[in-house]
Amino acid sequence: MVTKRNATTSKTMLLWASVFALAIYFVPYPYNVFALYPLRLFITLIHESGHALAAVLTGGSVNYLQVFTNGEGVTWSQTSLWAQGIVISGGYLGTTIFGAILLQLARSPKWKTTLAGIALYVLAVTLIWAHNPFDNLFTLVVGIVLGAILLGLARGLPPIGASFVVTFLAVQCCLNAVGDLRILLQLTTTMPGKDNDAVFMSQHFPFPPTFWAIAWAVAAVCILALSLKSYLGRSPARKQA
């Protein structure tokens, strides 16, 4: 049950998590790499899992997903023609939805359970879809290490600490979803030949890559705005006498 005290705590955590997330980007290079690189790998893993989940939910199958050392990733799947648009959109919009869901879960007092759930999700995605350890060793290591760290935090942190980590990850997913779509929009206008999700989408549907980048960006902003409105404006539940 979300009490008034929990709601106040959650809003305070959102403020501090947002400040901390933004402050990381002002840390001078190369010191910011220690924080930004693991977060980049986490976001990429969530992005690729969005493609994979979309493929499975539309009746397809996943060959494997992979995260590269430069922070990029790829997911190979087999899906029907009608589902291609959903699967391709599942990367950027999947990250957005993941962040929006975490934002809602951050209101609940079960922060340690939520953090453990994130850890188990990362481990499940890695162990199920990061096939072939010899060709995909980096992805396996990244997923297992990230999952283990999150599990350790879920077990070792007090509830208030777990609340901060959950809220921080929600903020990171939201910020990166919008930021990555901004970069995607730049790529579609300045480097139209570079492979990306918008280019792949335009190969299956009659609109240019820039159209899809803008459409995903608008959808992401709407999803996050609705989630933030719910987070800030929902009245806390009261315990009945």
pLDDT in tens, 191-237: 877 889 999 999 999 899 999 999 999 999 999 999 999 888 754 44
d(CA 25, CA 32): 7
Q: What is the pLDDT of residue 234?
A: 56
Confidence check: pLDDT of 3 > 70: no
Task: Quickly state the pLDDT bin for 62 (edges 50, 70, 90).
Answer: very high
In this predicted model, what pLDDT tens digit does every residue of 148-176 receive, in sequence order? 999 999 999 999 999 999 999 999 999 99
- Is pLDDT above 90 for 30? no
pLDDT number for residue 206: 87
44: pLDDT strictly greater than 90? yes
208/193 Cα distance (integer angstroms): 12
Band of pLDDT at residue 238, cut at 50, 70 and 90: very low
* Ramachandran region, residue 71 (left: φ > 0; alpha: ψ -120 to 50; beta: rest): left
Number of residues in the chain: 241
β-strand partners of 74: 66
Amino acid in position 119: A
CA R_g for the chain: 18
Confidence of residue 144 (pLDDT cuts 50, 70, 90): very high
How many of the other CB atoms lie within 10 Å of CB of 80?
A: 11
Percent of the chain with pLDDT over 70: 93
Return the amino acid letter for 31. Answer: Y
* Average predicted confidence (pLDDT) for the chain: 89
